[in-house]
Structure 1
Amino acid sequence: MTVRIDQTRCIGSGQCVLAAPDVFDQSDDDGLGLVVVAEPSAELLPGVRDAVDRCPAQVVTLEE
């Protein structure tokens, strides 16, 4: 499974970081979301799925 954030549409709300802090971070430069673990382990997937659901801009995706 691969996690992605569409940087061109991200609004920097930080919901992904709140949902899965081991997988996501925010850029110090512009506050946009960053994926730090592109292929998370099974134990991290519930948080990633939560991040997908929480993202107000709907730019976080999990490709199975």
Structure 2
Amino acid sequence: MRVNVDLGACQGHGICHMSAPDVFDLAEDDGHSIVRTDPVPPELEADARLGVDSCPERAISAS
């Protein structure tokens, strides 16, 4: 699975990181989401989907 963050849409709420800390980090300078591992390994795919689904801005997508 590949996860993409639209940095233009990301507002840095951090909910993805709270939902899936093994998949998402937050940039220190602006709080925008960073995908920790690309591609996401199979054992973290459910967590990644939770992070995608939790984004209030719909800035994260997975394929």
TM-score by length of structure 1 reads 0.91
In structure 2, distance between residues paired with 1:55 and 1:17: 10
Tell me the CA shift for residue 22 of structure 1: 1.2
Residue of structure 2 in register with 1:53 after alignment? 53
CA deviation string 1:12-53 (max 9, x = no partner) = 011111111111100100111111112111110111111111
Residue of structure 1 in register with 2:41 after alignment? 41
Runs of 4 or more, structure 1, over 4 Å off, are none
Count, aligned residues: 63
Unaligned runs of 5+ in 1: none
For residues 8-27 of structure 1, what are the structure 2 equivalents within 5 Å? Answer: 8-27=8-27
What is the Cα-based RMSD across aligned positions, in Å? 0.8
Amino acid at match of 2:39: E
TM-score by length of structure 2 reads 0.92
Unaligned runs of 5+ in 2: none
